[in-house]
Homo-oligomer: A and B are copies of this chain.
């Protein structure tokens, strides 16, 4: 669970998630949206994958990334439950 919050701590990674919210995208397509280098994006994707916030599927030459909404929602809302007033 720590990994999820760590992953969400970086603005680039949050922006990647919001790109993937709309639709799946290849690594290169994601990289296009940022000023930073492709290897840097690749590393961010790796961290998101590690946190299970995204998953990747090989499709020919491309790696298609998709967001894992379930993990995102369950982790964050599970955490937030700790802070419910009762």
Contact = CB atoms under 8 A, between A and B. Distances in A.
Contacts of A5: 5, 8-9, 14
- Determine the main DSSP class of A at the interface with B: helix
Interface in A51-86: 67, 69, 72-73, 76-77, 79-80, 82-83, 85
A18 interface: yes
Question: What bracket does the count of chain A residues touching chain B fall in?
Answer: 20 to 34
A39 interface: no
A75 to B, nearest CB: 10
A85 B21 CA distance: 9
Given A76-B76, A80-B76, A82-B18, A9 B11 contact: no
